[in-house]
Structure 1
Amino acid sequence: MRRASKKSLSSAATASAGAEQVNEKQNRKRKGVSTNLTSRKAQRGPTKAVSKEVERIDQFFYTYADNSSVMIDPEGIETLCSHLEVPHTDVRILMLAWKMGCEKQGYFTLDEWRAGLKALRADSISKLKKAFPELVQEVTRPSNFQDFYIYAFRYCLTEDKKKCIEIPVACELLNLVLGLQFRPQVDKLSNYLKYQNDYKVINMDQWMGFMRFCNEVMF
């Protein structure tokens, strides 16, 4: 039997090594493709979950929205309150409007609804009811309450260029926003505002003064 030459053995070894390198590269590619596919699947999962959540929130919105305006109008809000088993004058509805960042009193847009309910993780009446205690806690934190207090005043400015609210509205709003925390002070302020004759409207500076009064004057 003839012996294989050193040259042929060397060539065979080189070819074998080359084949191994090619196989290794192909394996790496396969692993890379597999990893990418796994990564894409992992990315798709949360995205699908988020889109489903938004879809449920949208469906919840259209339960109360007016078909022509595509907004939840005052009538829709009253129906919502009925289902939540709270009066439409409940401070938690104002807190909900604050959470949604609503711009127009008595109206919820789809974008506002999405933003607020997504933050509250609420896509149904039952979940929204359960979210109320957490919402109240959030609003009443000192870091948030002043913002809510300012928002309450601005929310009551029913016209674009309006800068003041009428005395009766101010009294109702004081009772709603500060009544639970500062009942004696709010009663005194409301009585004064109702019976004085110097002012017919309240501006933002005066509104902020009421909060300072409640914080500083103890009964």
Structure 2
Amino acid sequence: MKNASRTKASVSLMRDRNLSNSSVPAATRPTGPAAKGAVTLFVSKSARSDMELVFDRLHALDKSTQSDTISGKGLAQFFCEVSVEASSLECMVLLWKLGATQQGCITRPEWLLSMYANGIESVAQLRQKLGEWVKDVRESSGAFLLMYTYMYDYIRGEEDRRMTRTTAINGWDVFFGQNKRYAKWKTWAVANLTGDVSRDLWRQLGIFLTMDTDATQSSDDQVLALSWPSAIADFMETDNLPAS
């Protein structure tokens, strides 16, 4: 009798365990597509962390810096790896997309935020993305002006409240080097523009130089109808374009 009781108890216990296991939701044991998705997510996160290692490697190249940034030799190496020259439109687009705010460096938060936001998992992928960004900036005046306006603070530098004329001209050379009207503006600015370049003048000049004044008379009239900063208005008078 005792053996029979023990047998019944053992069978009952096994039944309870089986019922307990079968009650576990299937979602906790992903299989098929769900399992594949979980693996993909893990791989993606792991791959993106590789860009953190890239940051660490570039950061370590400039041993003089005390901040958690890519600067000096590290920044030069970074530009080399993504195939851009320091003073080029491509470089400005890259810094814009990285959210760089301090001249000559990229901070870790800026780097990581940009990599995660754009889904960049390797330097090769960053080069590919950069090509797409540059193409967009070249083809869209709206995208160009967003980038150009954003870069005021970076080009100006942290130590200056306003951008010096020399710094501004160096920046304009990068952005508008192929612009015919800019060639006239630069000649005028070197001789007549005094003082620093404000954020508003920087922004308005971008609008002024990207408007297609030679396409149609209506475009030209649109330029004349706008209210421009005094520096641009003075330039327009010398360029035989009366300001409103």
Deviation at 1:86, TM superposition (A): 2.7
2:83 pairs with 1:91: no
- Choose 183-192 or 38-47, whichever is displaced more: 38-47
Match for residue 42 of structure 2? 48
User: Is the Cα contact below 8 Å between 1:73 and 1:107 reproduced in 2?
Assistant: yes
Please give the secondary structure, in 1, of the residue aligned with 2:29. helix
Deviation at 1:106, TM superposition (A): 1.1
Q: Distance in 1 between matches of 2:26 and 2:117?
A: 35
Q: Which amino acid aligns with 1:149?
A: Y
- Structure 1 residues 83, 100: closer, same or farther in 2, change over 3 A? closer
TM-score by length of 2: 0.66
2:146 pairs with 1:147: yes
Match for residue 76 of structure 2? 78
RMSD (Å) for aligned C-alpha atoms: 3.0
Q: Distance in 2 between matches of 1:50 and 1:109?
A: 23
- Choose 84-93 or 114-123, whichever is displaced more: 114-123
Gaps of at least 5 residues in structure 1 are 1-21
Match for residue 200 of structure 1? 195
* Max Rg structure: 1
Q: Distance in 2 between matches of 1:172 and 1:150?
A: 15
User: Is the Cα contact below 8 Å between 2:102 and 2:158 reproduced in 1?
Assistant: no
Aligned residues: 192
Please give the secondary structure, in 2, of the residue aligned with 1:72. strand
Q: Distance in 2 between matches of 1:213 and 1:84?
A: 32
Q: Distance in 2 between matches of 1:142 and 1:212?
A: 9
User: Is the Cα contact below 8 Å between 1:98 and 1:151 reproduced in 2?
Assistant: yes
Matches within 5 A, 1:57-72: 57-65=51-59, 66=62, 68-72=66-70
Q: 2:110 aligns with which of 112, 135, 145?
A: 112
Gaps of at least 5 residues in structure 2 are 1-14, 216-244
Q: Distance in 1 between matches of 2:187 and 2:80?
A: 31
- Structure 1 residues 159, 99: closer, same or farther in 2, change over 3 A? same
User: Is the Cα contact below 8 Å between 1:104 and 1:155 reproduced in 2?
Assistant: yes
Match for residue 242 of structure 2? none
2:187 pairs with 1:191: yes
Please give the secondary structure, in 1, of the residue aligned with 2:197. strand
Deviation at 1:202, TM superposition (A): 0.8
- Structure 1 residues 138, 31: closer, same or farther in 2, change over 3 A? farther
1:36-81 per-residue CA deviation (whole Å, 9 max, x = no partner) reads: 3218856643441232122111111122114543310132111222
1:82-104 per-residue CA deviation (whole Å, 9 max, x = no partner) reads: 23333211221221111111121
Matches within 5 A, 1:17-32: 26=19, 30=22
Deviation at 1:32, TM superposition (A): 5.1
User: Is the Cα contact below 8 Å between 1:102 and 1:112 reproduced in 2?
Assistant: yes
Q: Distance in 2 between matches of 1:74 and 1:218?
A: 43
Please give the secondary structure, in 1, of the residue aligned with 2:180. helix
TM-score by length of 1: 0.73
What percent of counterpart residues are identical?
A: 17
Deviation at 1:208, TM superposition (A): 2.1
